[in-house]
Amino acid sequence: MRLDGIALPANCWPVVGSTTLVVIPLKSPVRHAGSAVLPVTTTCAASREPLLHTHAIHPGTHLSCVGSDTPGKQEIDAAILKRAALVLADSRAQCARLGELQHAAEELSHAVELGEFLESPRAVAPGAVTVADFTGLGVEDLYIAEYCWEKANS
């Protein structure tokens, strides 16, 4: 199967609506090693080793990493954080302990908290790789849940 010129694994399923979402379940990083990552990719895994490596990341890719929320968890190779033109964090301090940034401490000073970014957005080149390292903050989770509940019931 192909989507916008990108070959997709046989075990994926596209969900097409106002935006297209492609769900690709991965059981191991080895099975994904040769595949290209879609332009916007969200990882949500309880992995203790990188699922994605820098060679699979094309220019212009954005990764939202939400599964690394405990010491030792890791979804992406630290080299991706080093390569990224922008690393967003829900909390720098929390991401340094629990998120992807725990595996690339030298990149912590380059990380921008989401609130800071929203107040003062920073431009990145069109082909830049960007990463969001989100470990989960209770207040954000509560707001998102409330928003979804309101949308679902309106």
Alpha carbon distance 26, 3 (integer Å): 18
What's residue 5's pLDDT?
61
pLDDT range class, residue 99, cuts 50, 70, 90: very high
Whether 75 maps to a domain, the answer reads: yes
Give CA–CA dist 18/137, Å, rounded. Answer: 28
Give the pLDDT score at 130.
94
Quick one: pLDDT band at residue 82, thresholds 50, 70, 90? very high
Q: Count helices and strands (H / E) in the chain.
A: 5, 11
Does residue 127 fall inside a structural domain? yes
User: What does the CA dihedral 107, 40, 115, 117 come to, rounded to 10 degrees?
Assistant: 70
Does the pLDDT at position 4 exceed 70?
A: no
- CATH number, residue 70: 3.40.50.720
Domain that holds residue 134: 36-152
**Other Cβ atoms within 10 Å of 80 Cβ, number:** 26
Mean pLDDT of 1-30: 56
Provide the domain count of the chain: 1
Under DSSP, is residue 49 helix (H, G, I), strand (E, B) or coil? strand
What is the torsional sign of CA 88, 93, 96, 98?
negative
Looking at the DSSP bridge assignments, the partners of residue 41 are 63
Residue 12 lies in a domain: no
